[in-house]
Amino acid sequence: MRIGIAQLNPTVGDLAGNRRLILDAYHALVAQGAELVVYPELIICGYPPRDLLFKRRFVADVEASLAEIAAAIGEVPALVGTVETNPGASGRRCYNSAAFCQNGRVVSMARKCLLPTYDVFDEDRYFEPSPAPPSVVTVLGKKVGITLCEDIWTHPELAPSNRYRFQPVNWLAEQNLDVMVNLSASPWHHGKGYLRDQLVTDAARQLGCPVVYVNAVGGNDELVFDGRSLVSDATGRITARLPAFTTDTRVVDTSAALSAPVPATGALTAEPAGAAAPQPSAPMADIHAALVLGLRDYSHKSGFKKALIALSGGIDSALVAELAVAALGADNVMGVSLPSAISSGHSKDDARALAANLGIRFETIAIAETVAAAEAALGPVFAGRAPDVTEENLQARVRGVLMMALSNKFGALLLTTGNKSEVAVGYCTLYGDMCGGLAVISDVYKTQVYELCRWINRAGAVIPVNTIEKPPSAELRPGQVDQDSLPPYDVLDAILQGYVEEGMSRRDLVARGFAEAVVNDVVRKVDLNEYKRKQAAPGLKITPLAFGVGRRIPIVQKYVS
């Protein structure tokens, strides 16, 4: 069967825009000879719609959009991810479904069986699970099984215990299918592409038929969808793969193995939380592409064309500036140096050099007088108290005020520059350097920041060499370096990965070989700074567990692990 795969980038809630994408792809794929066209999960409304589903007219509007789409579908059928009203008297108000459309109407609906409720997923809040097994439709005399995303995520090696009692693939294995289609909106994190390959190829071998996996692409809020739709033949060979981090449409023939199949990686191996499984492409290339796509879509889908970055001369702001240029173009990015009375000469020089390398507009706004005015205003109230971190944070907060003023005046999105290591331990100033609309690298560890910058410089020095090689510093007091307050970043990041992503206790971390005093200090800082993270800008997710929507730790809690 010739199946048209529509790997598209929807915008959540843009029903008219998404409808145009769907129909344009349909007509293009039919013209290329497709006999069935398949789309990602919830393509009509975008994924995840979250509490839009609770708005009174939202589900009805999605169904009205589906009706318009179905009316334009001809003899070649299409499987379209959508929301379906639950007609029953009990349960949640809707299903996560796939509409089988043909000859101007919706012929049947296939409903999602398994609803994920872990990490960033909370589908059980919104959807009713299918009361019946997966649907099977007939196309040109061929039996096509339909699954939606989580329906194939049931391999016993994925978790210590099975999340679900019902296994959709096991049921479909008894139906003598000719092909199975999986409609997905599977957000990316490092290592996940490898795992998906194994799930799809494993399902194909179990079913004894080809499996077509169609995934969404693009950024929606914190999540980045990488596409990488693929086809496996019945033996588990990947015979077609669509590109990563970009839209694409392609017709694949499931009845004929390609002469040069795309190689799959080895046997399915459970991916430990935080671990990097083997990747089909360079890890830094993937991370860079994900961050660029997430930043571009967050900006454009929010109505921003321009971005602002406070350039400190340090490596984090340099990386964010490079990502902004890659996402939005140099003409749409402004870098601003905000030197204080104690800012080093090299910091100002490195910021200027970076801006020149990137070709972006560069402005300098000195803050020494503004900081002095704030200190003078506070002086009578602070009388008798020694200077401390309060005065240091005044510098960061003055910078935040000025950067937000620039954002307002120029209609540009202010990008924060804190990395995951800093955000984890609260090494950032609330209402200071945390000001902004998007935390681009808040899920990128400091050690990965260095790796990314070296990867960016692989063909020449885009990031100034001095920025990479000098000791990192917030420069909030003379001679300050990060290591005055934090352990070396390779140690810090390893502890954070264990504590935050793997859920390890202090005792576990000490047993792993870390000094007890260092572990206690890092864990204490992580726990104490939950309140900061709750007030932070949304950040792009690139690891198995990011701060934000997927991690729900109470701010006020006294548990000591």
192 catalytic per annotation: no
Annotated active-site residue in 101, 149, 209, 453: 149
The Cα–Cα gap between 144 and 377 comes to 73
Q: Which is nearest to 67 in space by CA: 31, 97, 104, 36?
A: 104
In sign, the C-alpha dihedral spanning 73, 75, 76, 78 is: positive
Annotated active-site residue in 112, 192, 420, 541: 112
What single-letter amino acid sits at 413?
L
CB distance 453 to 552 below 8 Å: no
Find tokens 């934090």 and name the residue.
486
* Burial of 480: CB neighbours in 10 Å, binned 0-12, 13-18, 19+: middle
Please report, for the chain, how many H helices and E strands are present, in that order: 16, 19
CB distance 120 to 149 below 8 Å: no
Q: Which residues contact 254 (CB under 8 A, 6 or more apart)?
A: 1, 2, 3, 179, 210, 212, 231, 233
112 catalytic per annotation: yes
SS3 string, 474-505, reads CCCCCCCCHHHCCCCHHHHHHHHHHHHHCCCC
What Cα–Cα distance (Å) separates residue 165 from each residue in 82, 132, 156, 161, 171?
25, 14, 11, 10, 12
Find tokens 């049921």 and name the residue.
171
The Cα–Cα gap between 264 and 237 comes to 7
41 catalytic per annotation: yes
The Cα–Cα gap between 555 and 67 comes to 45
Annotated active-site residue in 41, 150, 222, 501: 41
Phi/psi-derived region of residue 13, left when phi > 0, alpha when psi is between -120 and 50, beta in every other case: left
Any bridge partners for residue 99, and if so which?
80, 109
Catalytic residues: 41, 112, 149
